[in-house]
Amino acid sequence: MPDSIRVKICGLATQEGVQAVADAGAAYVGFVFFPKSPRNVSIEQARELALSAPVGLAKVALVVDADNALLDAITNAVPLDMLQLHGHESPERVLEIRARYGLPVMKAVGIADASDVPDIDVYNAVADQILIDAKPPKNADLPGGNGLSFDWTLIAKRRWPKPWMLAGGLTPENVSEAIALTGATQVDVSSGVEMSVGIKDSAKISAFVAAALAD
């Protein structure tokens, strides 16, 4: 059913962008706290964006190997619904963060080939949700948002006990195919709805959500 697909738009930095995400019918909006990313926002920016978000839009903080000091600062200032761990956090660290902050935790798992797929099960046991993404190239500055996809047949029609989300190289043009092949009920996009690096395009956001919900 179309309404079973939930869409996350990640890397928002403006109130106009957050409103566009809500207007398009997405379920989640993501804020990036990673200085190397062109989509990085300050805690103050994220607070304003989160406070401006329409009721019902889930607000997600993306962090990369963040220490407790940074997580304390973010969670104390920004009204959030979920933490997204996009670094090399261990299963033990995932459990620690869940316990410390009392927020649902989504752990990103990078996939390059079949040898990476078992990691999904490892993190499924400790996280609330899994984000299945393309593994970044070696020596890449960014752990995600690189516009890369992976071989979707590696997870085609697989099921896990916890909710999971498909990411990596998704665009308005290919998201329908990705959903059909993998059976994903949640999809995440960042670079695929941008007019230039870090700058979201409202029309692409709308087209992406429409294509995802058409399945």
Please count the structural domains in the chain.
1
Return d(Cα 123, Cα 126) in angstroms, integer. 5
Return d(Cα 214, Cα 204) in angstroms, integer. 15
CA dihedral 13→24→103→148, nearest 10 degrees, is -70
| Structural contact between residues 119 and 127, judged by C-beta atoms closer than 8 angstroms | no
DSSP 1-46: -GGG-EEEEE---SHHHHHHHHHHT-SEEEEEE-TTSTTB--HHHH
pLDDT in tens, the chain (215 residues): 334 899 999 999 999 999 999 999 999 999 999 999 999 999 999 999 999 999 999 999 999 999 999 999 999 999 999 999 999 999 999 999 999 999 999 999 999 999 999 999 999 999 999 999 998 766 666 665 556 789 999 999 889 999 999 999 999 999 999 999 999 999 999 999 999 999 999 999 999 999 999 96
Range of the domain at 100: 2-213
Q: For the chain, how are helix, strand and coil distributed in percent, rounded to 5?
A: 40, 20, 40
Q: Reply yes or no on whether 133 is catalytic.
A: yes
| Angle between helix 15-24 and helix 43-52 axes, rounded to 10 deg | 40
DSSP H helical ranges for 53-162: 68-77, 91-101, 118-124
Q: Reply yes or no on whether 3 is catalytic.
A: no
Domain of residue 183, CATH code? 3.20.20.70
Which residue is catalytic, options 3, 10, 65, 128?
10
Which residue is catalytic, options 133, 151, 188, 201?
133
Return d(Cα 14, Cα 155) in angstroms, integer. 34
